């Protein structure tokens, strides 16, 4: 009788644990917004070739861009990283500068860099990047 009772208790407990397991949540985690703003400011008076890119669609190139420059882009959830850079296509005077910045949808700075022009008035800003 005791063996039978022990088996019954064991089967009941196992069944209870199996059927009362954690329920899978139907809620999907809220996705972070992938809207960013690219911006270039400064006193650089020449024109720039601006490049922004992502790991899915590649490069977007804009030519003969004057300052100030601003572009808002919304990326899909499959985009994991972005980059932004600029180089002079026409020169300006030595001693000028340009600041490139990537902002989040809330206005927070995600990445930034400031570069001065060279002795010939040329500007070369290295690509800044952000990983979502």
Per-residue pLDDT of the chain (132 residues; tens, 9 = 90+): 565 545 545 455 455 455 555 555 555 555 667 999 999 999 999 999 999 999 999 999 999 999 999 999 999 999 999 999 999 999 999 999 999 999 999 999 999 999 999 999 999 999 999 999
Please state the pTM of the whole predicted model: 0.75
CATH of 32-131, one of 3.40.50, 1.20.5, 1.10.1740, 2.60.40: 2.60.40
Secondary structure of the chain in the HEC alphabet? CHHHHHHHHHHHHHHHHHHCCCCCCCCCCCCCCCEEEEEEEECCCCEEEEEEEECCCEEEEEEEECCCEEEEEECCCCCCEEEEEEEEEECCCCCCEEEEEEECCCCCEEEEEEEECCCCCCCEEEEEEEEC
């Amino acid at each position: 009788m005791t063996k039978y009772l022990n088996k019954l208790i064991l089967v009941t407990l196992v069944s209870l644990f199996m059927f009362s397991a954690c329920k899978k949540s139907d809620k999907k985690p809220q996705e972070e917004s992938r809207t960013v703003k690219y911006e270039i400011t400064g006193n650089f008076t020449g024109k720039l070739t601006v490049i922004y890119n992502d790991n899915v669609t590649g490069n977007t190139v804009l030519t003969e861009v004057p300052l100030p420059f601003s572009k808002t882009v919304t990326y899909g959830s499959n985009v994991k990283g972005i980059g932004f850079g600029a180089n002079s296509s026409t020169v300006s005077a030595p001693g000028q500068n340009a600041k490139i910045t990537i902002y989040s949808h809330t206005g927070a700075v995600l990445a930034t860099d400031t570069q001065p022009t060279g002795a010939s008035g040329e500007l070369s800003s290295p690509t800044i990047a952000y990983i979502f």
